[in-house]
A = this chain, B = another copy of it.
Amino acid sequence: MESGKKVQEFFKEKRKQLNLTQPELAKKAGVGLRFIREVEQGKTSMRVDKVNQVLKLFGYELGPVLVKRDKTDL
């Protein structure tokens, strides 16, 4: 699993925490419904600014994070 699930999972989790449906989140964030769906479905080639439009609702934004090496691959 080359990671990439980060944003995907984050969207789902935060969205449900706020009890929003995909259409509701899309509307609130000002992005298309298709975008929300594709990201939650695991797409990794979406645009950074679009992701940030959504993360902003959660009080987050995309940034470089240190990749934690798993004990298994040392």
In the complex, the answer to whether A60 meets B49 with C-beta atoms within 8 Å is no
Chain A facing B: main interface SS: mixed
Least CB distance, A46 to chain B, in whole angstroms: 6
The answer to whether A71 has its CB under 8 Å from any CB of chain B is: no
CA A45 to CA B40, docked complex, whole Å: 19
**Contact size range, A:** 20 to 34
A7 on the B face (CB < 8 A): yes
- In chain A between 34 and 74, which residues have their CB closer than 8 angstroms to a CB of chain B? 44-52, 55-56, 58-67
Q: B3 to A61, Cβ gap below 8 A?
A: yes
- Listed in ascending order, the chain A residues whose CB lies under 8 Å from chain B are 3-4, 6-7, 10, 44-52, 55-56, 58-67
